[in-house]
Structure 1
Amino acid sequence: MKAGYIIRDQEKPHFVTITVVDWIDIFTRKAYRDIIINCLDFCIKNKGMLLYGYVIMSNHIHLIVQSKEGKLSELMRDFKKFTATQILKHLHTEPESRKEWILERFAKATETHIRNKNFQVWQYGNHAEEIYTIKFMWDKLNYIHLNPVRAGIVEKAVHYIDSSASTYALGKGMVDITFAENPVVDTTKNSEFWKYNSYDD
């Protein structure tokens, strides 16, 4: 992992990308997206996670996250470990048409790493970028929220249920996020996000 993507200041918020090994599209299934949502909710309520924004795409997730306890690396490690365990448990116990193929890819990913003995769900590293200004925070929030729009999944970011876009635009969502401060600049003039989120359908 590049040195620039290491979490150095454990107390600062970071833009974090977590990717499934081999870019497997596991989150096309609602059950696996729900695992992520439930874990985020648990971490917010019990692990001191401050979540400013998120999106769950088909094979990766983006978060803007901070640790109240100044232990962001530990928080992300535990998040990845728990979600990996739950994903594997679901794969082994619930119907899944791609089960054998997915497990084969997860098993193969362990061949070059000794830490995981049987299966590896997440790529190593978190691709973390420190959030150093409010403007940078909103640049990353806009990037996160527009992911599903750029991917052609929805026309408006607020229509994508597995992200924090609707929470910012409508005041409600699947996870109780921490709202980012309003930027000093006028977001109606320079933010892509609001171009895609007028309330008239």
Structure 2
Amino acid sequence: MSTKYKLSNPDSIFFITLTVVEWADAFTRRDYCELVCESIHFCQQKKGLNLYGWCIMTNHVHLICSAPRLPDVLRDLKKYTSRHLVEAIKANPKESRKYWLLWMFKSAAAKSSSHGDYQFWQLAGHQIELSTNQMLEQRLEYLHQNSVKAGFVEEPEQWYYSSARDYAEEKGRLEVILIE
């Protein structure tokens, strides 16, 4: 089975979910979330990634985005963040789950011939083409409510790693093209 993103219309806007292997809660530390944000920002600046909505949860990342050659951008984003997140976990003396997380990533890599020693992200990502305004608004609402439904915050804009702040007219962590 191919693990590449197959997008029916690569010029469209997509709802993308990147999931940590075994749904491991890897994004419980600010450093790891910041690494993902910096990587997304790089893709915005250098690879033409347009970001309309986003949210980092403890074990997955949601993006509403478009880009020329989006499958390549997503591949590069996953490859870069995977390598650097594993290194950050290894180097973090305060990471109490270090050996468990590394064991999870090593076990996942052992099942795949396309990975080195560690696999951070699940192979297949979840992607949905947002072909109507209704679909776009529905996914944006879903993405922003994620942290509320998980019980982390009372209001979506309270979650720092989300575009909900931008939509609430506050300064968010990443540049977002607001959907009117």
The reply to whether TM is greater than 0.5 is yes
Number of the residue aligned with 2:80:
82
1:64-103 mapped onto 2 (5 Å cutoff):
64-67=64-67, 69=68, 71-95=69-93, 96-103=95-102
Cα separation, 1, equivalents of 2:39 and 2:106: 23
Cα separation, 1, equivalents of 2:80 and 2:12: 23
Number of the residue aligned with 1:16:
16
Q: Any conservation in 1 of the 2:110–2:117 contact (CA below 8 Å)? A: no
CA deviation vs aligned residue, 1:81-119 (integer Å, no higher than 9, x gap): 011111011122222211111111100001221001210
Q: SS of 2:62's equivalent?
A: strand
CA deviation vs aligned residue, 1:46-90 (integer Å, no higher than 9, x gap): 1100000000000001100100x2x01101000100111110111
TM-score under structure 1 normalisation? 0.84
Number of the residue aligned with 2:105:
106
Shift of 1:15: 0.2
Cα separation, 1, equivalents of 2:89 and 2:31: 10
RMSD: 1.5
Q: Any conservation in 2 of the 1:18–1:126 contact (CA below 8 Å)? A: yes
Shift of 1:146: 0.3
Q: Any conservation in 2 of the 1:15–1:65 contact (CA below 8 Å)? A: yes
Q: SS of 1:161's equivalent?
A: coil
Q: Give the aligned length.
A: 177
Task: Tell which structure's C-alpha radius of gyration is larger.
Answer: 1
Q: Any conservation in 1 of the 2:32–2:85 contact (CA below 8 Å)? A: yes
Q: Any conservation in 2 of the 1:6–1:127 contact (CA below 8 Å)? A: no
Q: SS of 2:138's equivalent?
A: helix
What is the percentage of aligned positions where both structures have the same residue? 36
Where does structure 1 lack aligned partners over 5 or more consecutive residues?
Answer: 183-201
Q: SS of 1:172's equivalent?
A: coil
Cα separation, 2, equivalents of 1:38 and 1:13: 21
Q: SS of 2:79's equivalent?
A: helix
Number of the residue aligned with 1:136:
135
Cα separation, 2, equivalents of 1:8 and 1:90: 35
1:100-179 mapped onto 2 (5 Å cutoff):
100-179=99-178
